């Protein structure tokens, strides 16, 4: 039975009574949250109503003492200003959108990612942002070709220095390959290929990144074929290279004697 506008009494499985708050705006029924008492639920409804009818209120007017969650605050602001309803805390701009992790943590994305993040909630753990996708935790940096092992400043960088600016032209992948590191950046660079097999082993040093990546693949194949490891390591995919060219480079590239000698030590 409804006792106050926007408040609905409900009962949990254990018999405990609680109160749901919601508002209908432009024909859409929007849930505002659940509360232990009807007064708080009603206050959430009144605040939502104020947001809808007060265009001067902005995202940044939110206060922690409010009875409405910050996520709902953002959702209502966006729906009021742009007439698009998203269940995730997205606020749209002309050519990009903001996704709020918290009040003080705002991520920026290109508009082409809007549909994806409207349907995937971003979580943060140990400094990394990820979404749950098909039952898996997926690092959102993988959408830019950044590998999980990638180190900021070495393997990828943010052009303007802002780690919250996740627009495509702001993310530069320096090294897209497993096991490859650039050396001597101020002179003629070389690319060191390494592999960790109960310790770090140098596969070799090569004149370019692609050769180093192929050498890594060859070393991984060698370990698997000779029973030195029981499962394959992730391998590098070389874009824009046909199979014939790849096979030729694979056959020619040399890997270190230390890797080859692992076959003997494993006996």
What average pLDDT does the structure give for the chain?
92
pLDDT digits (tens, 9 = 90+) for 178-189: 999 888 766 678
Question: How many angstroms from the chain centroid is the CA of residue 146?
Answer: 10
Burial 40-66 (b: 16+ CB within 10 A, else e): bbbbbbbbbeebbeeeebebeebeeee
User: Residue 35 pLDDT > 90, yes or no?
Assistant: yes
Q: What is the pLDDT of residue 233?
A: 85
Cβ-based burial of 140 (10 A; exposed 0-12, middle 13-18, buried ≥19): buried
Indicate the DSSP class of residue 3: -
The end-to-end CA distance of the chain, in Å, is: 76
Cβ-based burial of 69 (10 A; exposed 0-12, middle 13-18, buried ≥19): middle
Q: What is the pLDDT of residue 188?
A: 74
Q: What is the pLDDT of residue 264?
A: 65
Q: What is the pLDDT of residue 169?
A: 97
Task: Please provide residue 18's backbone torsions phi and psi, each rounded to the nearest 5 degrees.
Answer: -140, 175
Q: What is the pLDDT of residue 150?
A: 87
Look at residues 159, 150, 157 and name the one whose alpha carbon lies nearest to residue 180.
Answer: 150
pTM: 0.80
DSSP string over 72-129? HHHHHHHHHHH----SS-EEE-SSEEEEEEETTEEEEEEGGGHHHHHSS--EEETTEE
Average pLDDT over residues 111-128: 95
pLDDT digits (tens, 9 = 90+) for 212-244: 999 999 999 999 998 888 777 889 999 889 999
DSSP string over 204-261? EEESSHHHHHHHHHHHHHHHHHTTSSSSPPP----TT--HHHHHHHHHH----HHHHT
Using 50, 70 and 90 to split pLDDT, how confident is the model at 172? very high
Q: What is the pLDDT of residue 109?
A: 98
Q: Poorest-confidence range of 92-96, 143-147, 228-232, 257-261?
A: 228-232
Average pLDDT over residues 25-31: 93
User: Residue 21 pLDDT > 70, yes or no?
Assistant: yes
Q: What is the pLDDT of residue 199?
A: 86
User: Residue 159 pLDDT > 70, yes or no?
Assistant: yes
User: Residue 266 pLDDT > 70, yes or no?
Assistant: no
Using 50, 70 and 90 to split pLDDT, how confident is the model at 147? confident
**Beta carbons of 209 and 177 less than 8 angstroms apart:** yes
Q: Poorest-confidence range of 2-11, 36-45, 86-95, 103-112?
A: 2-11
User: Residue 31 pLDDT > 80, yes or no?
Assistant: yes
User: Residue 54 pLDDT > 90, yes or no?
Assistant: yes
Average pLDDT over residues 19-35: 94
């Amino acid at each position: 039975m409804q006792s106050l506008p926007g408040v609905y009494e409900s009962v949990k499985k254990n018999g405990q009574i609680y109160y749901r708050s919601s508002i209908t705006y432009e024909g859409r029924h929007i849930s505002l949250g659940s509360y232990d008492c009807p007064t708080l639920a009603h206050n959430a409804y009144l605040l939502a109503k104020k947001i809808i009818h007060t265009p001067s209120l902005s995202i940044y007017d939110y206060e922690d003492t409010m009875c409405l969650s910050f996520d709902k605050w953002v959702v209502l602001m966006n729906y009021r200003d742009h007439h698009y309803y998203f269940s995730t805390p997205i606020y749209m701009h002309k050519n990009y959108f903001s996704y709020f992790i918290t009040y003080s943590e705002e991520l920026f994305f290109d508009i082409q990612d809007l549909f994806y993040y409207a349907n995937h909630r971003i979580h943060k753990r140990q400094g990394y942002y990820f979404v749950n996708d098909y039952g898996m935790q997926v690092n959102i940096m993988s959408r830019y070709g950044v590998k999980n092992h990638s180190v900021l400043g070495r393997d990828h960088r943010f052009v303007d220095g802002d780690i919250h600016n996740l627009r495509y032209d702001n993310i530069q992948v320096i090294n897209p390959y497993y096991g490859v590191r650039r050396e001597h950046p101020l002179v003629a660079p070389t690319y060191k290929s390494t592999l960790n097999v109960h310790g770090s082993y140098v596969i070799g040093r090569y004149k370019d990144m692609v050769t180093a990546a192929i050498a890594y693949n060859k070393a991984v194949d060698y370990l698997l074929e000779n029973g030195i490891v029981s499962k394959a390591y992730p391998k590098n995919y070389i874009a824009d290279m046909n199979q014939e060219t790849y096979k030729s480079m694979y056959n020619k590239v040399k890997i270190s004697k230390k890797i080859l000698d692992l076959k003997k030590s494993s006996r």
